[in-house]
Amino acid sequence: MLHVGLTGGLASGKSFVGRSLADLGCFLIQADQLGHEVIEPGGEAYEGVVALFGKEILNADRRIDRRRLAAQVFSDPEKLAKLNALVHPPVKARERALAAAFAREHPDGIAVTEAAILVETGSYKDYDRLIVAVSRPEQQIARSMERDGVSREAVLNRLSRQMPLEDKVKYADFVIDTSGSKENTLQQVRTVYELLRISKGPNSIKGPRLNP
């Protein structure tokens, strides 16, 4: 099995790329979804997160309100690091279990893990290939404002705390630029998929970076 990492920046199109790869036959693992699951009641990180941040982050049904939690951590790097220390290990464990189960059933398949901070954490090294989805900064801002219903200032604040995309692409085996039309992006995804299919195993030749 080939295990591929997929990352990018805020609203850079990585989720669209991930879904498109899944449509082509890849097994998609979404780290963000796993992160939601581990902080649900009964999840591996739930008790620790509530103990650390207090019951004020809970809704009436005792589920963690992710917006309240985000309000606490994203302006405080120390709190964010503590949250990551609670959430990331169980997310990684779930990801490994999903990938292993897929590999047993599909030893010649391609698993893709979509995650936001693969480069920042150094975990990109755990994958056979790395795809980075990029787009123009103004598109990131516009997409995020529309998707999340937040102000331009809030988006710029979030972007200022992220590793620039131009730094992430230095680690990429494939770069998919989502700045153009949907069909243009899909064509890049199809090209990457075909290269991945003929590039199985960590020691094989890696493909070129792709731009529209």
Backbone angles phi, psi at 174, to 5 degrees: -135, 135
Does residue 203 register a pLDDT over 60?
A: no
Q: What is the mean pLDDT of the chain?
A: 92
47 and 140 both lie in a single domain: no
Find the mean pLDDT for residues 200-204: 51
123 and 198 in a single domain? The answer is: yes
Residue 151: which CATH number? Answer: 3.40.50.300
Indicate the residue among 76, 108, 140 that finishes a domain: 108
Based on the fold, state whether residues 101 and 117 are members of the same structural domain.
no
Report pLDDT digits (tens) over 111-136: 999 999 999 999 999 999 999 999 99
Residue 204: what pLDDT?
47
Between 173 and 204, residue with greater pLDDT: 173
Q: Give the pLDDT mean for 80-105.
A: 97
Structural domains counted in the chain:
2
- Tell which of 74, 108, 142 closes a domain: 108
Q: Range of 164's domain?
A: 1-26+109-212
Write out the two tokens for 140.
């990131």
2 and 49 share one domain: no
The per-residue pLDDT for 76 is 87
pLDDT band for position 207 (cuts 50, 70, 90) = very low
**Helical (H) or strand (E) element with 28:** strand 27-30
User: What integer pLDDT is reported at residue 68 of this predicted model?
Assistant: 94
Please check whether residues 122 and 197 belong to one and the same domain. Answer: yes
Residue 172 above 80 pLDDT?
Answer: yes
Same domain, 70 and 157: no
pTM for the model? 0.90
**Do 79 and 47 share a structural domain?**
yes
Q: Which amino acid is at 120?
A: E
Are 79 and 18 in the same domain? no
- Where residue 160 falls (left for φ over 0; alpha for ψ -120 to 50; beta otherwise) is alpha
Which among 94, 95, 101, 102 is positioned nearest to 127, based on CA atoms? Answer: 95
The pLDDT value recorded for residue 199 is: 81
77 or 31, which is more confident: 31
* Number of alpha carbons in the 13 Å side-chain half-sphere of residue 2: 25
